[in-house]
Amino acid sequence: MKHFEYSFKEVFGTLVIQKELFDVVAKPLVEDLIRGKNGLLFTYGVTGSGKTHTMTGSPGDGGLLPRCLDMIFNSIGPFQAKRFVFKLDEKNGVDVQCEVDALLERQKRDAMPVPKTPSGKRQIDPEFADMINVQDHCKVEEVDEDNVYSVFVSYIEIYNNYIYDLLEEAPFDPIKPKWNNCNTPVRNGDFIPPQSKILREDQNHNMYVTGCTEVEVKSTEEAFEVFWRGQKKRRIANTQLNRESSRSHSVFIIKLAQAPLDADGDNVLQEKEQITLSQLSLVDLAGSERTNRTKAEGNRLREAGNINQSLMTLRTCIEVLRENQMYGTNKMVPYRDSKLTHLFKNYFDGEGKVRMIVCVNPKAEDYEESLQVMRFAEMTQEVEVARPVDKPLCGLTPGRRFRNQAFREELSRKLEIRGGPINGETEEQSVSEMLLQSFPPLPSCELLDVNDDQTLPKLIEVLEKRHRLRQMLSEEFAKNVLTFKTMLQEFDSSVVSKENYIQGKLSEKEKIIAGQKMELERLEKKTKTLEYKIEILEKTATIYEEDKRNLQQELESKSQKLQRQASDKRRLEARLQGMVAETTMKWEKECERRVAAKQLEMQNKLWVKDEKLKQLKAIVTEPKNEKPERPSRERDREKPVQRSVSPSPVPNAPPVRLRHRRSRSAGERWVDHKPPSNLPTETVMQPHVPHAITVAAASEKALAKCDKYMLTHQELASDGEIETKLIKGDVFKTRGGGQAVQFTEIETLKQESPTGRKRRSSPSNPNPPEDAADAEWTDVETRCSVAVEMRAGSTLGPGYQHHAQPKRRKP
């Protein structure tokens, strides 16, 4: 198995806890969300590698999604707006309403029989209660306290390249319809199939899903309850690799709307331009899979094809972005080839941060798929898509929320000290009562007598006093009003001067900040350029090091190969030298044998000629008046002719005794192969090999025991006689453990009939013709030519050849 190395920004082991993974990967995205920036987090890997577990978690240990929700509500909890203050429109925008309109909207929604927004006061579902019970209380440190916030969530899935709303209220279960045995949906009049949603582009060129249900939530429990409601509708199926395999890509979208408070710090600023809408998308991708491993058929096969196609489109988009960034090209990125890439086109164009978690299964069966996943994940690190987002400035004084709260608390405290009421209405009543108490009391106005002349004068006096007091109070009030107006004018002038001074300072600071921003951008660009160069140099160095290692390995392998070849060459040379020595010795022996055979043949020929000459001399010296009688063949056989005293190579032997040919290698074991079809020759000379194993058919067992091999072969000669050939050879052992025979020589045993020779009979004419002497010479010569001659090339002789061919008479 080959060894591969891949580099990532962070690698987590199998025992990593969810909190550690959240702090490194998801926490920066939540912080950017609260600061008004977008974020995208998706899990990628082979089916069954733990993507859904990483996103949702398990009971007692929540995943990334519940931890993100918990961190958001821990950060903005005391600054949340009331329900329906923010209202999402159908064009991916948000509007702000006053408190009265929001109150009417809440009353209208509460009057509906089925509320769209789940109640946060009811008991939490125990099915997911342990998942959202996060005890970390993680939150963002720097939150704008002069803003109000609202959270909206939506949940969609991309199934077979179609977008479906998992929060859409529908009769029955449109996501999991019933199917019959023919793999077609059951016809039901009450069944409404789910309607796929359409992607559109808003006025800011951001992609969104039209008609998608977006729910305003006020707590972690409420948000996760919405998620769990949609999770039950998500498509899952049982495959060979995973019991609950996701058959679609799920996208949980968290939108955070925020707007500043007015100058008093009481109500939301009613300006749509000041509203900031940020978004965090948590994507659980379906796992890539091979159909030959999952044994998918029918719908499962079509689902796997669409899943792999969307993941392939995502990979192609990343590759094109990387190529455009590295080589400066301007190739078109194929976002529209898949709904998944088309939905998140803005993220890849730089509208927010993108984080990817690669889940790897250490099983050996997923080796090839895991290599493809890690190769793609390593390539995506080289793509830089984030760019800064400017937050709108409202121009209001910061800290106004807490100043307004402090003013109210101080006013309530002082009124409580004075013992007066707290609210403004009772305050006005107490001032009027104080004024009435300062007036002189009215006397009794009852007239009991017609002649009473004291009651009316007293009443007139009191009323005149009251009138004078009222005039004094009116004058004092007018003076106070004039004084207050003067103070207000002075305060306005000071405020205007201070505003002008602050504006001048602000303009100067803005110029300084703009210059610093330009310098910072220049330094950032320079830093990115240097980082990019450093990365290129590091990759080049890595490539060179890898090439160096490969060359060293190749050099070592080639040196080992050369050493093996040298050792093989030495062994071959030693073997060839042994074979040359053996062949030389063999041919030397063969030459000696052939020279000895030639010498013996020449001696035989010499002896035959000597015999002929001697007999010829004896015949010539005989008297010519006596004609010798030719002895009969029977007499020749009974009485052997007395030969001369010249040495003969063949020793005399009695005619009745069989002579056996002595083997050339009498000390070696032979395999004597005599086929059963051979006929007995009944000749005097018979080949005989001692210590031989006689077989009718060659067998491996017999060849394994012997060193020599001899085959007796018979065939019919041209003169009609039987010709016997002795085919001899050496037995060698082969590398495979068997035996092989190499034939070295052939000896021929030929038998001729004497009746086949032409013999001259005695003529009837007593007077011999003139050429009688010649005829007599010819007959003697023919008779003397019957001899035993050894064949040239035969060694020690089991092969003898009988020659009885008469010479043709001269005309």
Known binder of ligand: residue 559? no
Name the residue with tokens 């800011």. Answer: 204
Question: Residue type at 620?
Answer: V
By CB atoms closer than 10 A (0-12, 13-18, 19+), residue 57 is buried
Q: What token pair was written down for 456?
A: 């009316």
Known binder of ligand: residue 210? no
SS3 420: coil
Name the residue with tokens 């250490």. Answer: 362
SS3 38: strand
Contact (CB, 8 A) for 790 and 797: yes
Known binder of ligand: residue 265? no
Q: Comparing C-alpha atoms, which of 151, 149, 148, 150 is closest to residue 265?
A: 148
Question: Would you give the end-to-end CA distance of the chain in angstroms?
Answer: 95
Q: Comparing C-alpha atoms, which of 124, 118, 122, 127 is closest to residue 56?
A: 127
251, 256, 257, 261: CA torsion to nearest 10: 180
Known binder of ligand: residue 50? yes
H-type alpha helices, 91-155: 99-111
Name the residue with tokens 């063969």. Answer: 590
Q: Comparing C-alpha atoms, which of 208, 62, 79, 205 is closest to residue 136?
A: 62
Counting DSSP H helices and E strands in the chain, the numbers are 17, 24
Q: Comparing C-alpha atoms, which of 331, 337, 284 is closest to residue 315?
A: 337
Assign 3-class secondary structure to 558-619. Answer: HHHHHHHHHHHHHHHHHHHHHHHHHHHHHHHHHHHHHHHHHHHHHHHHHHHHHHHHHHHHHH
Contact (CB, 8 A) for 681 and 798: no
Q: Comparing C-alpha atoms, which of 424, 461, 412, 471 is closest to residue 441?
A: 461
Contact (CB, 8 A) for 253 and 41: no
By CB atoms closer than 10 A (0-12, 13-18, 19+), residue 42 is buried
Known binder of ligand: residue 363? no
Question: Residue type at 152?
Answer: F
Q: Phi and psi at residue 756, in whole multiples of 5°?
A: -80, -15
Contact (CB, 8 A) for 515 and 523: no
Known binder of ligand: residue 51? yes
Known binder of ligand: residue 52? yes
Residues contacting residue 51 through CB under 8 Å, at least 6 positions apart: 43, 44, 45, 246, 284, 285, 287, 357, 359
Q: Which helix (H) or strand (E) holds 10?
A: none
Contact (CB, 8 A) for 240 and 293: yes
Contact (CB, 8 A) for 76 and 66: no
Known binder of ligand: residue 49? yes
Q: Please give the annotated binding residues for ATP, written as ranges.
A: 45-52
Q: Please give the annotated binding residues, written as ranges.
A: 45-52
